[in-house]
Amino acid sequence: MLESVEIVEKKPIPSEATMIIGLPDVGLVGLIATSYLITELKLEEIAYMDSDLLPPVVVLHKGLPHAPLRIYGNQTLIAVISELAVPVPAIYSIIREIVDWGQAKKVKRIVSMGGIPVENRQAITEPQVFGAASNQELLDTLNKKGLSVMNEGYIVGPQALSMRYSISRKVPAIAILAQSFYNYPDPEAAATALKEFSRIFEIKVDVSKLLEKGEEIRLKARDIMKRTRQEMNRMKKSQEYDLPLYV
Amino acid sequence: MSEKQRKRSILDVMNEYMEEFETLADELMASAFPEGPSWNTETCCLQALSNVSVTSREVIVTADMPNIEPETVKVEAVDENLIEITAKMKKKVRFADLGIYHRQGEFSFLRCQDRIHVAFDAEKMKISCKGGILEVRFPRKK
Protein backbone atom coordinates (compact mmCIF):
# COMPACT_ATOMS: atom_id res chain seq x y z
CA MET A 1 0.00 0.00 0.00
CA LEU A 2 1.46 3.37 -1.02
CA GLU A 3 1.87 5.72 1.93
CA SER A 4 0.35 9.10 1.20
CA VAL A 5 2.28 12.34 1.38
CA GLU A 6 0.28 15.51 1.22
CA ILE A 7 0.97 19.21 1.63
CA VAL A 8 -1.95 20.80 3.41
CA GLU A 9 -2.36 24.48 2.61
CA LYS A 10 -3.43 26.85 5.36
CA LYS A 11 -3.27 30.12 3.45
CA PRO A 12 -3.15 31.24 -0.19
CA ILE A 13 0.16 30.35 -1.79
CA PRO A 14 1.93 33.00 -3.86
CA SER A 15 2.82 32.23 -7.45
CA GLU A 16 6.26 32.83 -9.01
CA ALA A 17 7.94 32.72 -5.60
CA THR A 18 11.44 31.50 -4.81
CA MET A 19 11.19 28.31 -2.79
CA ILE A 20 13.91 27.62 -0.23
CA ILE A 21 14.36 24.16 1.24
CA GLY A 22 16.25 23.85 4.51
CA LEU A 23 15.94 20.34 5.90
CA PRO A 24 18.16 18.83 8.64
CA ASP A 25 21.44 17.75 7.12
CA VAL A 26 25.19 18.26 7.48
CA GLY A 27 25.89 20.81 10.23
CA LEU A 28 22.16 21.64 10.21
CA VAL A 29 23.27 24.47 7.90
CA GLY A 30 20.14 24.56 5.75
CA LEU A 31 17.77 24.25 8.68
CA ILE A 32 19.48 26.96 10.74
CA ALA A 33 19.75 29.34 7.76
CA THR A 34 16.15 28.84 6.63
CA SER A 35 14.70 29.06 10.17
CA TYR A 36 16.58 32.30 10.74
CA LEU A 37 15.33 33.68 7.42
CA ILE A 38 11.75 32.82 8.41
CA THR A 39 12.15 34.68 11.72
CA GLU A 40 13.95 37.71 10.28
CA LEU A 41 11.53 38.21 7.41
CA LYS A 42 8.54 37.33 9.63
CA LEU A 43 7.26 34.74 7.15
CA GLU A 44 3.86 33.22 7.99
CA GLU A 45 3.06 29.54 8.17
CA ILE A 46 1.17 28.79 4.94
CA ALA A 47 1.21 25.00 4.71
CA TYR A 48 2.46 21.82 6.32
CA MET A 49 3.23 18.28 5.32
CA ASP A 50 0.95 15.45 6.39
CA SER A 51 2.25 11.92 5.95
CA ASP A 52 2.25 8.53 7.67
CA LEU A 53 5.87 8.22 6.53
CA LEU A 54 6.84 10.80 9.15
CA PRO A 55 7.07 9.80 12.82
CA PRO A 56 4.00 10.54 14.99
CA VAL A 57 5.29 13.92 16.20
CA VAL A 58 3.91 17.40 16.73
CA VAL A 59 6.04 20.31 17.83
CA LEU A 60 4.58 22.67 20.40
CA HIS A 61 5.33 26.35 19.98
CA LYS A 62 3.70 28.76 22.43
CA GLY A 63 1.44 25.91 23.48
CA LEU A 64 0.07 25.22 20.01
CA PRO A 65 0.81 22.06 18.02
CA HIS A 66 2.53 22.31 14.65
CA ALA A 67 3.50 19.71 12.11
CA PRO A 68 7.26 19.19 12.23
CA LEU A 69 7.65 19.75 8.48
CA ARG A 70 6.17 23.16 7.69
CA ILE A 71 6.13 25.72 4.94
CA TYR A 72 6.32 29.47 5.49
CA GLY A 73 5.96 32.28 3.00
CA ASN A 74 5.28 35.81 1.91
CA GLN A 75 4.52 37.22 -1.53
CA THR A 76 7.92 36.35 -2.99
CA LEU A 77 9.38 33.60 -0.83
CA ILE A 78 8.36 30.11 0.22
CA ALA A 79 10.51 28.40 2.88
CA VAL A 80 10.36 24.71 3.82
CA ILE A 81 11.82 23.53 7.11
CA SER A 82 11.62 20.41 9.22
CA GLU A 83 12.09 20.21 12.98
CA LEU A 84 12.71 16.52 12.77
CA ALA A 85 15.30 14.56 10.87
CA VAL A 86 13.48 13.17 7.84
CA PRO A 87 13.67 9.35 8.06
CA VAL A 88 15.61 7.95 5.13
CA PRO A 89 12.83 5.60 3.93
CA ALA A 90 10.54 8.65 3.62
CA ILE A 91 12.96 11.03 1.97
CA TYR A 92 12.17 10.18 -1.64
CA SER A 93 8.42 10.65 -1.27
CA ILE A 94 8.79 13.76 0.90
CA ILE A 95 11.15 15.61 -1.43
CA ARG A 96 9.20 14.50 -4.50
CA GLU A 97 6.02 15.93 -3.01
CA ILE A 98 7.75 19.20 -2.10
CA VAL A 99 9.11 19.63 -5.62
CA ASP A 100 5.81 18.59 -7.24
CA TRP A 101 3.96 21.05 -5.04
CA GLY A 102 6.45 23.78 -5.90
CA GLN A 103 5.97 23.06 -9.57
CA ALA A 104 2.17 23.22 -9.17
CA LYS A 105 2.54 26.59 -7.40
CA LYS A 106 4.67 27.78 -10.32
CA VAL A 107 7.71 28.62 -8.20
CA LYS A 108 10.34 30.61 -10.06
CA ARG A 109 13.14 28.46 -8.67
CA ILE A 110 13.99 26.06 -5.87
CA VAL A 111 16.99 26.90 -3.68
CA SER A 112 18.43 24.30 -1.32
CA MET A 113 20.75 25.58 1.36
CA GLY A 114 23.09 23.22 3.09
CA GLY A 115 26.60 22.28 4.11
CA ILE A 116 29.63 20.70 2.51
CA PRO A 117 31.28 18.58 5.21
CA VAL A 118 34.98 19.36 5.60
CA GLU A 119 37.35 17.46 7.87
CA ASN A 120 39.33 20.55 8.89
CA ARG A 121 36.34 22.84 9.56
CA GLN A 122 37.84 23.84 12.91
CA ALA A 123 40.80 25.42 11.13
CA ILE A 124 38.55 27.42 8.79
CA THR A 125 37.70 30.91 10.08
CA GLU A 126 35.44 31.87 7.21
CA PRO A 127 33.69 28.99 5.49
CA GLN A 128 33.61 29.16 1.70
CA VAL A 129 30.34 28.84 -0.14
CA PHE A 130 29.84 26.90 -3.35
CA GLY A 131 26.93 26.56 -5.69
CA ALA A 132 25.42 23.98 -7.97
CA ALA A 133 22.59 24.47 -10.45
CA SER A 134 20.23 22.43 -12.57
CA ASN A 135 21.23 24.00 -15.89
CA GLN A 136 24.12 25.82 -17.52
CA GLU A 137 22.28 29.14 -17.70
CA LEU A 138 21.74 29.18 -13.92
CA LEU A 139 25.33 28.10 -13.35
CA ASP A 140 26.53 31.01 -15.49
CA THR A 141 24.31 33.34 -13.45
CA LEU A 142 25.84 32.06 -10.22
CA ASN A 143 29.32 32.52 -11.70
CA LYS A 144 28.54 36.08 -12.77
CA LYS A 145 27.30 36.81 -9.24
CA GLY A 146 30.65 35.70 -7.93
CA LEU A 147 29.65 32.37 -6.38
CA SER A 148 32.22 29.60 -6.77
CA VAL A 149 30.77 26.57 -8.46
CA MET A 150 31.10 23.03 -7.13
CA ASN A 151 32.76 21.64 -10.19
CA GLU A 152 33.04 17.89 -9.45
CA GLY A 153 31.74 15.95 -6.47
CA TYR A 154 28.85 14.17 -4.86
CA ILE A 155 25.79 15.58 -3.17
CA VAL A 156 23.86 13.11 -1.02
CA GLY A 157 20.50 13.51 0.68
CA PRO A 158 17.66 16.02 0.49
CA GLN A 159 19.54 18.53 -1.70
CA ALA A 160 20.48 15.76 -4.13
CA LEU A 161 16.89 14.63 -4.49
CA SER A 162 15.54 18.16 -4.77
CA MET A 163 18.04 18.80 -7.59
CA ARG A 164 17.16 15.51 -9.30
CA TYR A 165 13.39 16.02 -9.18
CA SER A 166 13.68 19.68 -10.16
CA ILE A 167 15.65 18.71 -13.26
CA SER A 168 13.09 16.10 -14.30
CA ARG A 169 10.24 18.55 -13.78
CA LYS A 170 12.16 21.37 -15.45
CA VAL A 171 12.00 23.61 -12.39
CA PRO A 172 15.15 25.75 -12.07
CA ALA A 173 17.10 24.61 -9.01
CA ILE A 174 20.12 25.91 -7.18
CA ALA A 175 22.07 24.53 -4.23
CA ILE A 176 24.00 26.93 -2.00
CA LEU A 177 26.43 24.95 0.13
CA ALA A 178 28.82 26.24 2.79
CA GLN A 179 31.81 24.41 4.21
CA SER A 180 30.69 23.08 7.57
CA PHE A 181 31.10 20.54 10.32
CA TYR A 182 29.68 17.16 9.39
CA ASN A 183 28.01 16.35 12.67
CA TYR A 184 28.03 19.50 14.80
CA PRO A 185 25.49 22.33 14.37
CA ASP A 186 27.25 25.09 12.44
CA PRO A 187 25.52 28.49 12.74
CA GLU A 188 28.56 30.24 11.23
CA ALA A 189 28.33 28.16 8.07
CA ALA A 190 24.59 28.84 8.01
CA ALA A 191 25.24 32.59 8.26
CA THR A 192 27.74 32.40 5.40
CA ALA A 193 25.31 30.48 3.18
CA LEU A 194 22.54 32.92 4.01
CA LYS A 195 24.75 35.91 3.23
CA GLU A 196 25.40 34.49 -0.24
CA PHE A 197 21.71 33.76 -0.76
CA SER A 198 20.88 37.30 0.32
CA ARG A 199 23.49 38.76 -2.05
CA ILE A 200 22.57 36.63 -5.08
CA PHE A 201 18.83 37.07 -4.83
CA GLU A 202 18.97 40.62 -3.43
CA ILE A 203 16.87 39.77 -0.40
CA LYS A 204 18.05 41.79 2.59
CA VAL A 205 18.85 39.58 5.55
CA ASP A 206 21.05 40.72 8.43
CA VAL A 207 22.95 37.69 9.75
CA SER A 208 24.61 39.47 12.70
CA LYS A 209 22.01 38.22 15.18
CA LEU A 210 22.47 34.68 13.89
CA LEU A 211 26.19 34.92 14.64
CA GLU A 212 25.51 36.41 18.09
CA LYS A 213 23.15 33.56 18.93
CA GLY A 214 25.60 30.96 17.60
CA GLU A 215 26.48 29.30 20.90
CA GLU A 216 22.86 29.29 22.04
CA ILE A 217 21.83 27.63 18.76
CA ARG A 218 24.55 25.00 19.13
CA LEU A 219 23.26 24.12 22.60
CA LYS A 220 19.63 23.95 21.51
CA ALA A 221 20.36 22.02 18.31
CA ARG A 222 22.14 19.06 19.96
CA ASP A 223 19.19 16.71 19.91
CA ILE A 224 18.11 17.33 16.34
CA MET A 225 21.76 17.05 15.24
CA LYS A 226 22.01 13.69 17.02
CA ARG A 227 18.95 12.37 15.21
CA THR A 228 20.04 13.86 11.89
CA ARG A 229 23.36 12.05 12.29
CA GLN A 230 21.55 8.72 12.53
CA GLU A 231 19.70 9.43 9.28
CA MET A 232 22.88 10.70 7.59
CA ASN A 233 24.60 7.42 8.47
CA ARG A 234 21.71 5.48 6.98
CA MET A 235 21.81 7.41 3.71
CA LYS A 236 25.62 7.03 3.55
CA LYS A 237 26.12 10.77 3.57
CA SER A 238 29.87 10.23 3.89
CA GLN A 239 29.91 9.53 0.16
CA GLU A 240 30.17 13.31 -0.18
CA TYR A 241 33.82 12.89 0.82
CA ASP A 242 34.42 10.51 -2.11
CA LEU A 243 36.43 11.50 -5.14
CA PRO A 244 34.21 11.11 -8.18
CA LEU A 245 35.34 9.06 -11.12
CA TYR A 246 34.88 10.76 -14.44
CA VAL A 247 36.66 9.09 -17.31
CA MET B 1 4.32 -16.38 -15.59
CA SER B 2 7.28 -15.33 -17.76
CA GLU B 3 10.95 -15.82 -16.74
CA LYS B 4 11.35 -12.03 -16.37
CA GLN B 5 8.29 -11.77 -14.09
CA ARG B 6 9.52 -14.73 -11.99
CA LYS B 7 12.99 -13.12 -11.59
CA ARG B 8 11.46 -9.76 -10.61
CA SER B 9 9.31 -11.37 -7.94
CA ILE B 10 12.36 -13.13 -6.42
CA LEU B 11 14.07 -9.74 -6.17
CA ASP B 12 10.93 -8.30 -4.62
CA VAL B 13 10.94 -11.09 -2.04
CA MET B 14 14.61 -10.46 -1.28
CA ASN B 15 13.93 -6.74 -0.88
CA GLU B 16 11.10 -7.49 1.51
CA TYR B 17 13.38 -9.75 3.60
CA MET B 18 16.03 -7.02 3.69
CA GLU B 19 13.50 -4.42 4.86
CA GLU B 20 12.21 -6.79 7.55
CA PHE B 21 15.75 -7.55 8.65
CA GLU B 22 16.55 -3.84 8.91
CA THR B 23 13.40 -3.20 10.95
CA LEU B 24 14.29 -6.09 13.27
CA ALA B 25 17.86 -4.83 13.63
CA ASP B 26 16.55 -1.35 14.53
CA GLU B 27 14.22 -2.85 17.14
CA LEU B 28 17.02 -4.94 18.65
CA MET B 29 19.31 -1.91 18.82
CA ALA B 30 16.56 0.16 20.43
CA SER B 31 16.01 -2.47 23.14
CA ALA B 32 19.74 -3.08 23.70
CA PHE B 33 20.59 0.64 23.83
CA PRO B 34 17.46 2.44 24.98
CA GLU B 35 17.44 6.12 24.13
CA GLY B 36 17.42 8.46 27.07
CA PRO B 37 17.32 12.24 27.24
CA SER B 38 20.38 14.29 26.37
CA TRP B 39 20.18 15.97 29.76
CA ASN B 40 20.48 14.89 33.37
CA THR B 41 18.93 17.03 36.08
CA GLU B 42 20.66 15.09 38.88
CA THR B 43 24.14 15.82 37.60
CA CYS B 44 23.08 19.14 36.00
CA CYS B 45 24.66 18.01 32.75
CA LEU B 46 23.76 18.43 29.12
CA GLN B 47 25.15 15.79 26.81
CA ALA B 48 27.67 17.19 24.38
CA LEU B 49 27.91 15.95 20.80
CA SER B 50 31.18 14.16 20.21
CA ASN B 51 33.07 12.17 17.63
CA VAL B 52 35.89 9.64 17.76
CA SER B 53 38.28 9.03 14.92
CA VAL B 54 41.18 6.58 14.96
CA THR B 55 44.31 6.90 12.86
CA SER B 56 47.29 4.56 12.76
CA ARG B 57 49.05 6.68 15.40
CA GLU B 58 46.42 8.33 17.50
CA VAL B 59 42.85 8.56 18.67
CA ILE B 60 41.23 11.93 18.17
CA VAL B 61 38.13 12.78 20.16
CA THR B 62 36.28 16.00 19.39
CA ALA B 63 33.35 17.43 21.28
CA ASP B 64 31.07 20.36 20.53
CA MET B 65 31.16 22.41 23.72
CA PRO B 66 29.74 25.85 23.18
CA ASN B 67 29.66 28.39 25.97
CA ILE B 68 32.16 26.64 28.25
CA GLU B 69 34.87 27.96 30.53
CA PRO B 70 37.90 26.35 28.83
CA GLU B 71 39.90 26.18 32.06
CA THR B 72 37.29 23.85 33.57
CA VAL B 73 37.67 21.13 30.91
CA LYS B 74 38.29 17.71 32.49
CA VAL B 75 39.19 14.63 30.46
CA GLU B 76 39.23 11.34 32.35
CA ALA B 77 39.74 7.75 31.33
CA VAL B 78 36.88 6.02 33.14
CA ASP B 79 38.31 2.64 32.17
CA GLU B 80 40.67 1.42 29.47
CA ASN B 81 38.05 1.86 26.78
CA LEU B 82 35.95 4.76 27.97
CA ILE B 83 36.75 8.43 28.29
CA GLU B 84 34.64 11.17 29.77
CA ILE B 85 34.91 14.86 28.98
CA THR B 86 33.26 17.44 31.21
CA ALA B 87 33.32 21.23 31.16
CA LYS B 88 31.49 23.94 33.08
CA MET B 89 29.30 26.31 31.09
CA LYS B 90 29.81 30.06 31.46
CA LYS B 91 26.14 30.48 32.15
CA LYS B 92 23.64 28.02 33.63
CA VAL B 93 20.85 26.95 31.30
CA ARG B 94 17.42 26.23 32.70
CA PHE B 95 14.54 24.46 31.02
CA ALA B 96 12.65 27.74 31.34
CA ASP B 97 15.36 29.50 29.30
CA LEU B 98 14.49 27.11 26.47
CA GLY B 99 10.77 27.83 26.79
CA ILE B 100 10.14 24.51 28.53
CA TYR B 101 7.92 24.96 31.55
CA HIS B 102 6.68 21.41 32.03
CA ARG B 103 10.06 20.27 33.33
CA GLN B 104 12.22 21.68 36.09
CA GLY B 105 15.96 21.72 36.15
CA GLU B 106 19.07 23.65 35.38
CA PHE B 107 22.32 22.65 33.76
CA SER B 108 25.81 23.85 34.50
CA PHE B 109 27.96 21.33 32.67
CA LEU B 110 28.42 19.77 29.27
CA ARG B 111 29.53 16.16 29.33
CA CYS B 112 30.16 13.34 26.91
CA GLN B 113 31.39 9.81 27.17
CA ASP B 114 33.01 7.97 24.31
CA ARG B 115 34.00 4.36 23.92
CA ILE B 116 37.31 3.80 22.19
CA HIS B 117 37.93 0.38 20.73
CA VAL B 118 41.71 0.54 20.44
CA ALA B 119 44.37 0.77 23.15
CA PHE B 120 45.42 4.35 23.85
CA ASP B 121 47.66 6.17 26.28
CA ALA B 122 45.46 8.41 28.41
CA GLU B 123 48.49 9.86 30.23
CA LYS B 124 49.86 11.51 27.10
CA MET B 125 46.72 13.27 25.93
CA LYS B 126 46.86 16.69 24.28
CA ILE B 127 43.87 18.99 24.65
CA SER B 128 43.00 22.02 22.55
CA CYS B 129 39.87 24.11 22.30
CA LYS B 130 38.93 26.44 19.47
CA GLY B 131 35.57 28.08 18.92
CA GLY B 132 33.98 25.77 21.49
CA ILE B 133 35.17 22.64 19.68
CA LEU B 134 37.30 20.61 22.02
CA GLU B 135 39.89 18.26 20.57
CA VAL B 136 41.68 15.60 22.60
CA ARG B 137 44.45 13.54 21.02
CA PHE B 138 45.67 10.31 22.58
CA PRO B 139 48.63 8.41 21.16
CA ARG B 140 47.82 4.79 20.48
CA LYS B 141 49.51 2.10 22.51
CA LYS B 142 51.57 -0.38 20.53
**Is B133's CB within 8 Å of A219's CB?**
no
Shortest Cα distance, chain A CAs vs residue B43, angstroms: 17
Nearest to A176 by CA among A43, A48, A37: A37
Mean pLDDT across B88-96: 95
In this complex, do A215 and B48 lie within 8 Å of one another by their Cβ atoms? no
Residue B97 DSSP label? G
> Would you call A122 and B133 a contact, using CB atoms and an 8 Å cutoff?
yes
Report the amino acid identity of residue B132: G
ipTM value, please give it: 0.88
pLDDT category of residue B20 using cuts at 50, 70 and 90: confident
Residue B33: the pLDDT is 57
Is B93 part of the contact surface with chain A (CB cutoff 8 Å)?
A: yes
**The pTM is what?**
0.89
pLDDT band at B29 (very low <50, low <70, confident <90, very high): low
Q: Check residue B19 and give its pLDDT.
A: 73
Kindly determine whether residue A218 and residue B132, on different chains, have CB atoms separated by under 8 Å: yes
CA dihedral A69, A72, A78, A80 (to 10 degrees): -20
Nearest Cα of chain A lies from the Cα of B121 at a distance, in angstroms, of: 24
Q: What does the pLDDT read at residue A190?
A: 98
Cα B12 to Cα B6: distance, rounded to the nearest angstrom: 10
Asked if A52 and A143 touch (Cβ cutoff 8 Å), the reply is no
Partners of A122 on chain B (C-beta within 8 Å) are: 62, 130-131, 133, 135
Contact B93 A185 (CB under 8 A): no
Q: What is the mean pLDDT of chain B?
A: 88
Cα(A209)–Cα(A207) distance, integer angstroms: 6
DSSP state of B99: T
pLDDT at B27: 63
Instruction: Kindly tell me the burial class for residue A129, based on how many C-beta atoms sit within 10 Å of its own C-beta (0-12, 13-18, 19 or more).
Output: buried
Q: How far is CA A64 from the centre of its chain?
A: 25
B48 touches chain A (CB under 8 A): yes
**pLDDT at res. A49:** 97
What's the pLDDT tens digit per position in B40-76? 999 999 999 999 999 999 999 999 999 999 999 999 9
Q: Contacts of residue A185 in chain B, CB cutoff 8 Å?
A: 49, 64
pLDDT at A247: 66
Chain B residue closest to A229 (CA)?
B49
Rg for chain A, CA atoms, rounded: 17
Which chain A residue's Cα is nearest to B46?
A219
Query: Which pLDDT score is estimated for B32?
Result: 56
Inter-chain contacts counted by CB atoms under 8 A, chains A and B: 40
Model pLDDT, residue A242: 85
Which of B38, B52, B64, B130 to substitute to test the interface with A, most A CBs within 10 Å?
B64
Residue B7 has pLDDT above 60, yes or no: no
Number of helices (H), then strands (E), belonging to chain B: the values are 1, 9
Q: Which residues of chain A have pLDDT under 50?
A: 1
The minimum CA-CA distance between A219 and chain B, rounded to whole Å, is 7
Q: What is the pLDDT of residue A214?
A: 95
**B112 part of contact set with chain A, CB < 8 Å:** no
Percent share of chain B, pLDDT over 90: 69
